[in-house]
Amino acid sequence: MKGIKTTIAAVAALLVAGAAQADPVKVGMITTLSGGGASLGIDARDGFMLAVKQANNPDLEVVIEDDQRKPDVAVQLADKMIQQEKVDVLTGIIWSNLAMAVVPSAVAQDKFYLSVNAAPSQLAGKGCNANYFSVSYQNDNLHEAAGGYASSAGYENAFILAPNYPAGKDSLAGFKRFFFGDIAGEVYTKLGQTDYAAEIAEIRASGADSVFFFLPGGMGIAFMKQYAQSGVDIPLIGPAFSMDQGILGAVGDAALGVKNTSNWSKDIDNATNKAFVESFVAEYDRLPSLYASYGFDTANLLLSAMGKANVNDKEAFRDALRAADFNSVRGKFVFGPNQHPIQDIYVREVVKEGDVLTNKIVGVALKDHADAYASECSM
């Protein structure tokens, strides 16, 4: 008799679970796979697909398209994915200008958007939305941590530079929000600039005791190489973007010793992270970057929500996402009220392991750090 009861209970439980998972989830990934900056999108995609492959969940289907880093292309792809492919969830965008072109309209059409990277301030404050989750960070976070680190390391006079575009301005504002010393010089360079001789000459003459720079992708490679060749030896500080795994190889030894701030590093000590790094190397034969880690976390967040709720029950699925009940490669993972993570941000140093340049954690810059815009979000 007792046996029959448990069997019935088990069958019922199976039925309930089956009902919760009955509807398959279709994900549309729009990311940059060609042109300048493709390495970022490829890493995010590979991290995401690694988690998908490991979960081996037949109810999850992913459609991937290349936005070529062009906002108009991204908008077209988003329209196609929503209207034709009928996706439930969108993800993948690397660049903030593309995110601003796609996200507001997608979440307004009641699609979920999970960000693997771009998280502009507009979407964290007044423009926050219940369907929008940033798994990576809020754009200002790593720059704020760099400012916090520079202050605590005792630097008093910083020279700061960034490209002249919205994320560059946010970057310098973020740095200054947590840096309490003087600013020896503040320079905005042209977006995509490749020669920094004029700026480096100014740094040399400025009398600064530290240099903060935010130059993602090829700009950072060019700046680092030229800085090393110039013989200027003022210490460099930057967000992880300038010192990421994907570009360290191209910078070479010039990057050694540079401090950078990141919410992920391959030596964060937890089982999930270890397994992630090992399986990523095994699958793709290269070390993962932080974009790959964001992709991996995003997929696992989505999978955790799929295990709890049906995607067509928007309210329940949203709650399941908000609970963030998954093992993050960053250790603990909590969403703040505007659905951006509250997290520790580390200071890393570029080191050489054998022949490979990589980053090593040397301290914590900001603990349980939330973003500056959460209070403006009424949700």
Judged by the rule CB under 8 A, the positions of this chain that interact with another protein are 33-36, 38-39, 42, 164, 186-190, 192, 194-195, 197-199, 201-202, 204-205, 217-219, 221-222, 225-226, 229-231, 246-247, 249-252
**Residue type for 205, please?**
A
- What the block records as the tokens of 330 is 């960053």
CB of 187 to another protein, least distance (A): 7
Contacts of 304 (CB under 8 A, 6+ apart): 320, 323, 324, 325, 326
Q: What minimum distance in Å lies between the beta carbon of 287 and another protein?
A: 11
Report the residue number, 24 or 35, with the smaller CB distance to another protein.
35
Q: Which lies closer to another protein via its Cβ, residue 225 or residue 322?
A: 225
The least distance separating another protein from the CB of residue 236, rounded to whole angstroms, comes to 17
Q: Which of 231, 232, 191, 195 is nearest to 214 (CA)?
A: 191
Q: What is the DSSP letter of 190?
A: P
Nearest to 366, CA basis, from 342, 346, 341, 337: 346
The CA–CA distances, whole Å, from 172 to 19, 77, 177, 238, 311 equal 49, 32, 9, 11, 39
User: How near is the Cβ of 303 to another protein at its closest, in Å?
Assistant: 27
R_g (Cα) of the chain, nearest Å: 22
Q: How far is the CB of 353 from another protein (least distance, A)?
A: 16
The residues facing 65 across adjacent strands are 30
Q: How far is the CB of 306 from another protein (least distance, A)?
A: 30
Structure-token pair, residue 16: 């309930």
Nearer to another protein, 133 or 196 (CB): 196
CB of 195 to another protein, least distance (A): 6
Minimum Å gap between C-beta 283 and another protein is 16
The three-class DSSP label of residue 353 is: strand
By beta-carbon proximity to another protein, the closer residue of 52 and 219 is 219
Q: Which residue has the tokens 């973020």?
A: 174
The amino acid that residue 120 corresponds to is P
Query: DSSP secondary-structure letter at 55?
Result: H
- Tell me, what DSSP letter sits at residue 91? E
Of residues 24 and 207, the one with the C-beta less far from another protein = 207
CB of 54 to another protein, least distance (A): 23
Instruction: Say how far apart CA 263 and CA 144 lie, in whole Å.
Output: 12
Question: Nearer Cβ to another protein, position 108 or 205?
Answer: 205
Sign of CA dihedral 154, 157, 161, 165: positive
Nearer to another protein, 125 or 163 (CB): 163
Using the minimum distance from each CB to another protein, give the nearer residue, 16 or 180: 180
Q: How far apart are CA 304 and CA 369, in angstroms?
A: 24
- Rounded CA-CA distance 293/365 in Å is 20
Cβ-defined contacts of 325-328 (< 8 Å, 24+): 326/297, 326/300, 326/301, 327/271, 327/272, 327/300, 328/272, 328/297, 328/300
Closest among 137, 333, 282 to 274, alpha carbons compared: 282
Give 233 or 315: the residue with its C-beta nearer to another protein: 233
CB of 132 to another protein, least distance (A): 28
CB-wise, 247 or 268, nearer to another protein? 247
